[in-house]
Amino acid sequence: MSATKEISKIWIVEDHQTFAKNIRRLIEGEDNLECPYHFSSPEELFDKLKFTQDKPDIMLLDLGLPGMNGLEVLVRMRKMMPELKVLILSAFDDRERVYRAICNGASGYLLKTADPDEIIEGINDVIHGAAALSGAIATMILNGFSKHGPVEELEALTSREEDVLKSLVKGYTKKEIGEELDISQHTVDMHLRSIYRKLHVRTQTEAVSKALRQGIV
């Protein structure tokens, strides 16, 4: 008697209905995959999670979503379900979004322009514990690291500065950082000035990029 093949449940969070329908059909065509749910917005996803014990094995997550952006959804889902594997499937291919997604726990990053076979292969890679990256994304990451040369020796950040920088990487505004850490916006500005000085940067974008590139957060 042959062993029953284990089925992995894939949930999709994607606001483009036609694209989501095509991906769902693609997934359902695989013997080892099923896609019981598709959500058009983060609100639909979190409403569902309030009333079900059902959980996905992998979540396919777009970044350009209505209401809450995909990076915020990623951070929240990783807090709710630390074991959940989240595979980004996005049209965005800019370095900062890619780095933020990977550093916030994404198991891979595929572009929507990927071939259907590449998407299925990426899902199966993630199921088996490997990272899934579109070729263009992998190349961009490698080029991004090599372009900036060796890792610099930088002055150590305080624990509070690290907290502020982590919130910055998550995409929080100064106001949101203050609320998250229970400090005033003036104190946030003070920490940011110190972070900029220690990282040898002048803007939030430069700070995030350098933090991700050097593995500070």
Contacts of 128 by beta carbon, 8 Å cutoff, 6+ apart: none
Residues in a beta bridge with 109? 88, 133
What's the Cα-to-Cα distance from 35 to each of 16, 58, 183, 205, rounded to whole Å?
A: 16, 10, 43, 37
Domain finish residue from 91, 123, 146: 146
3-state secondary structure at position 203: coil
Detail the DSSP E strand segments found in the chain: 8-13, 33-39, 58-61, 85-90, 108-111, 132-133
Question: Which one of 117, 146, 175 terminates a domain?
Answer: 146
Residues 138 and 163 in one domain: no
Same domain, yes or no: 94 and 173: no
- Strand partners for 8: 33
Q: How many domains does the chain have?
A: 2
CATH code of the domain covering residue 88: 3.40.50.2300
In tens, the pLDDT along 157-206 reads 999 999 999 888 877 888 889 999 999 989 999 999 999 999 888 877 77
Shared domain for 22 and 126, answered yes or no, is: yes
Is 154 a domain residue? no
92-96, 145-149, 175-179, 208-212: least confidently modelled range = 145-149
Q: What is the four-CA torsion angle of 157, 161, 165, 168, rounded to 10 degrees?
A: -160
Record the pTM. 0.68
Q: Per residue, what are the HEC states of 113-163?
A: CCCHHHHHHHHHHHHCCCCEECHHHHHHHHHHHHHCCCCCCCCCCCHHHHH
Which domain does 56 fall in, by range?
Answer: 8-146
Looking at the structure, tell me whether residues 138 and 170 fall in a common domain: no
Do 14 and 82 fall into the same domain? Answer: yes
**Using the 8-state DSSP alphabet, how is residue 215 labeled?**
T
Instruction: Answer with the one of 121, 146, 171 that is the final residue of a domain.
Output: 146
Say yes or no: 71 and 175 in one domain. Answer: no
Residues 200 and 96 grouped into a single domain: no
Residue 98 has pLDDT above 50, yes or no: yes
Same domain, 33 and 108: yes
Q: Fill in the amino acid letter for 169.
A: V
Residue 193 has a pLDDT of 92
Name the token pair of 168: 């910055």
pLDDT score for 144: 62
φ/ψ of 175, rounded to 5, equals -60, -45
Q: Which residues pair with 86 in a beta bridge?
A: 59
Average pLDDT over residues 9-37: 96
Joined together, the tokens standing for residue 26 give: 């693609």
pLDDT band at 31 (very low <50, low <70, confident <90, very high): very high
